[in-house]
Structure 1
Amino acid sequence: MPAPDLGTDELTLTGRITTATNATFLGSIGDAAVVYKPIAGEKPLWDFPDGCLAHREVAAYLVSEALGWNIVPRTWMRDGPLGEGMVQLWQETDPEQTAVDLVAVDDVPETGWKEVLQGQDENGRIVSLIHEDTPALRRMAVFDVLVNNADRKGDHILAMAGGHRYGVDHGLTFHHEHKLRTVLWGWIGDSLSAEELEGVDRVLLGLEGELGSQLAKLLTAEEIASLAARCARLRSAGVFPAPSGDMPAVPWPLF
């Protein structure tokens, strides 16, 4: 059987993710399982323009591709049963793995994990927010800085078999103002590796060519200029940034 044409073959809805803030559906295109977020189902936000979240999800995929790190599953714009929207290939996670967790403060592992913050759970227990200390998550943290991700929750990181980590739900990205809210703060002040710096360089170079042309169909000129400025600042600093500004440093809820 030939592979489905993901851009034109019929998109059939199979379910709905009811916990999502915006209308989010499960579907299929031939034998390919997908997530579908129609623009018509996007709720208005006070700080992002209306009707643009799907475009930002696709833009995040394009930056992921330019980095070369396969952070965002294949994502594209197309028509569907509820109109134009974002479609993304569905990913089956490994239920035995987790990349971000809440644990009792005395149970933070000594190695392999980074502690982000401490707080109280609903029972008054002191807990720690932790995440893996892995190259895959470091790359995702770099990606989040570049795209100015305002909503990197723990459940937006998909733990895959074999150790790969996908990032999803990138509608709140690319704002021209600083909006970075993430659970991945474990490397503040650490130097970026040569591989990470090379990824930033690939995005900067791409913005002068094909990547810039593709993003111009999805983002404003001001947002693209702000992306380039973030790349340049991170490249110049050469270290993972710390939280700044008046925005909360982490999203809420955390998961």
Structure 2
Amino acid sequence: MYPSDPAVTELLAKGRIEVEGRLVDASNATLFCEISGGDATAHCVYKPISGERALWDFPDGTLAGREVGAYLVSEAAGLHLIPPTVLRAGPFGPGMVQLWVDTKEGDDLVDVLSPSDVPTGWRRVLRAHDRFGEPAVLAHSDHASVRMMAALDVVINNADRKGGHVLHGTDGLVYGVDHGICLHTEHKLRTVLWGWSGERLPEDVLEMLGTLREALRNDLGDDLSEHLTRAEIRGLKRRTEELQYKAEFPSPDADYRAIPWPAF
């Protein structure tokens, strides 16, 4: 089942969840599950609120609620860059349930490479040395959907856009996952997608920002209020307006760590 399937949201909201395993690299409880209902079956990620590790700088709401909030923003902006995501009861209590995205093997969109191996057209973000002392480059694809994700991360104030959070689905589309530490009022943008820093926003990004601003003037704010504070919703509105007004991708701030660690 693909994210575009019209039956996905209802399956995620009402289907029977069977836990099959745990993603051990995640810092919070992240469970790989099968979800079924009627004739439909799919895999999903279930993150129970009871398994969240408290963060001192995200004291309000839940990480699960922020994941749902990021999904609502993506949908309202017409992007569909985040897999269908709901907040519901599960085997270990309420939590976030998100459709699992199968990816194309060997078709990464972000990578650490030897300078000579960076594909033509990719955006170089950071030069460093690997553990053997050899030159290495953190780079990402110039894919239009990755560029749109970079803009989405600015408005949702994503504090943790790792390379492994950018997926190339088997349906050919690009998706972002792991949005539990987004939508804070303070500037916290940490991302590996800095390849367009300082460049003018293309027309499709500007149109997206206009669509999002209109949604925020209508029902999106009310929908987000179930998961975010009023100040956080105002912060989302402010960032959207500022990015549209400046019409330029931001650059990393030298006063804080602009790339998440680890980067993958």
Work out whether the TM-score is over 0.5: yes
Q: Distance in 2 between matches of 1:144 and 1:151?
A: 9
**Deviation at 1:162?**
5.5
Aligned to 2:228: 219
* Counterpart check, 1:22 vs 2:31: no
Q: Distance in 2 between matches of 1:51 and 1:68?
A: 25
In the superposition, the TM-score normalised over structure 1's length comes to 0.95
Say which SS state the counterpart of residue 76 (structure 1) adopts. Answer: strand
Aligned to 2:133: 124
Aligned to 1:183: 192
Aligned to 2:4: none
Contact 2:12 2:97 (8 Å CA) reproduced: no
Aligned to 2:166: 157
Contact 1:36 1:85 (8 Å CA) reproduced: yes
Q: CA RMSD in A?
A: 1.4
Q: Which moved more, 1:42-51 or 1:191-200?
A: 42-51
Structure 2: which amino acid aligns with 1:184?
L
CA distance 1:245–1:148, change in 2 (3 Å): farther
**Deviation at 1:163?**
3.8
1:74-89 correspondence to structure 2 within 5 Å: 74-89=84-99
Q: Distance in 1 between matches of 2:189 and 2:15?
A: 37
Deviations 1:114-145 (A, max 9, x none): 00011121111110001001101100000000
Structure 2: which amino acid aligns with 1:14?
E
**Deviation at 1:194?**
1.3
Unpaired segments of 5 or more residues in structure 2?
Answer: 1-6
CA distance 1:24–1:253, change in 2 (3 Å): same
**Deviation at 1:247?**
2.3
* Counterpart check, 1:9 vs 2:15: yes
Any runs of at least 4 consecutive aligned residues in structure 1 with deviations exceeding 6 A, and if so which?
A: none
**Deviation at 1:20?**
0.5
Contact 1:149 1:170 (8 Å CA) reproduced: yes
Structure 2 residue corresponding to 1:251, chosen from 249, 260, 263: 260
Aligned to 1:144: 153
**Deviation at 1:177?**
0.2
Aligned to 2:74: 64
CA distance 1:76–1:245, change in 2 (3 Å): farther
Aligned to 2:116: 106
Contact 1:118 1:127 (8 Å CA) reproduced: yes
Structure 2: which amino acid aligns with 1:53?
L
Structure 1: which amino acid aligns with 2:142?
D
Unpaired segments of 5 or more residues in structure 1?
Answer: none
CA distance 1:5–1:184, change in 2 (3 Å): closer
Q: Distance in 1 between matches of 2:173 and 2:16?
A: 30
Contact 1:9 1:29 (8 Å CA) reproduced: yes
Q: Distance in 2 between matches of 1:177 and 1:148?
A: 8
Q: Which moved more, 1:236-245 or 1:126-135?
A: 236-245
Q: Distance in 1 between matches of 2:61 and 2:160?
A: 18
Contact 2:60 2:228 (8 Å CA) reproduced: no
In the superposition, the TM-score normalised over structure 2's length comes to 0.92
Aligned to 1:174: 183
Contact 2:66 2:228 (8 Å CA) reproduced: yes
Contact 1:14 1:28 (8 Å CA) reproduced: yes
Q: Distance in 1 between matches of 2:254 and 2:57?
A: 16
CA distance 1:51–1:225, change in 2 (3 Å): closer
* Counterpart check, 1:230 vs 2:230: no
Q: Distance in 2 between matches of 1:249 and 1:194?
A: 26
Q: Distance in 2 between matches of 1:90 and 1:77?
A: 15
Say which SS state the counterpart of residue 92 (structure 2) adopts. Answer: coil
Contact 1:178 1:245 (8 Å CA) reproduced: no
Q: Distance in 2 between matches of 1:116 and 1:5?
A: 39
